[in-house]
Structure 1
């Protein structure tokens, strides 16, 4: 499978699960709608890395080139345990603004599962939905999908509904 085919398939799948139109994705990524359409149809003959990265990052995807270090070293060090996506997203919202109370991962999870924004964390949710990197939001969606068996598209829809209720300004939620 070619790289352009993989990119096109991934973009279409993520855009669809996020509930975005090609036009809105084009506006978010800074590309034309015809470019987004051509990428998704895998009919684009030449896509620069800069355009591919802009398109992918706008929907929380990425391309990576890595060196397989495990093959080079017999003593591979294990990575430290990291916080869950829900914990990172909750902390991001709390760290960016001074709030009387912090939002925790469980409160965020309940809000995304129910679509309800309790008064105590409304400001936190608004900051997170407006300012958290889309890649982190995508990881939150993946975590809820895996742990709660909730379809990804439904989690994205809950985020969008909360963003509308909280009057978030991010273009992603239009």
Structure 2
């Protein structure tokens, strides 16, 4: 399977899970809608690494080059904290009180944003790397059996309720 084929499938799947149109993804990624369409249909003749990275990064995906045998240093650098823990810590950096992973999980599963964590959720949804948000979605899918599209939809509802400005939520 070619890299462009894998990218096209991954982009289409993530875009639909996130509830985005091709037009919205184009706006977010800085590419044209016709480029997004061509990538998804795998009919694009050539996609530069820079453009591919911009597209993938805008929806929390990335490209990796893997060697046949991972180095010992790579194994040690892998994070041992859950994505929910990392996201809660990221959202709490600027606040006196910290949001816990449990509070974040409840907010994402119920769509309820209690007053004490509303600023944390807004910071998370507006400023956290999309790759971290995608890892949170994957973690909830794998550990709780929640459909990815449902988690993305809850994030979008929370972001709209909190009046987040990030284009992906509009």
TM over 0.5: yes
- Corresponding residue for residue 27 of structure 1: 27
- Corresponding residue for residue 9 of structure 2: 9
- Corresponding residue for residue 103 of structure 2: 107
- Corresponding residue for residue 43 of structure 1: 43
Cα deviation for residue 68 of structure 1 reads 3.1
Residue 117, structure 1, aligned to residue 135, structure 2: no
Residue 164, structure 1, aligned to residue 160, structure 2: yes
Q: Runs of 4+ in structure 1 displaced over 6 angstroms?
A: none
Partner secondary structure for residue 45 of structure 1: coil
Q: Which runs of 5+ in 1 are unaligned?
A: none
Residue 137, structure 1, aligned to residue 133, structure 2: yes
In 1, Cα distance between the equivalents of 2:96 and 2:38? 48
Per-residue CA deviations over 1:26-77 (Å, capped at 9, x if unaligned) read 011110000000000111011111111111111011111133345xx7xx57
State TM-score, norm by structure 1: 0.92
Partner secondary structure for residue 167 of structure 1: coil
In 2, Cα distance between the equivalents of 1:36 and 1:103? 36
In 1, Cα distance between the equivalents of 2:67 and 2:2? 20
Considering only CA atoms, is the larger Rg found in Structure 1 or Structure 2?
1
Please give the root-mean-square deviation of Cα atoms over the aligned residues, in Å. Answer: 1.4
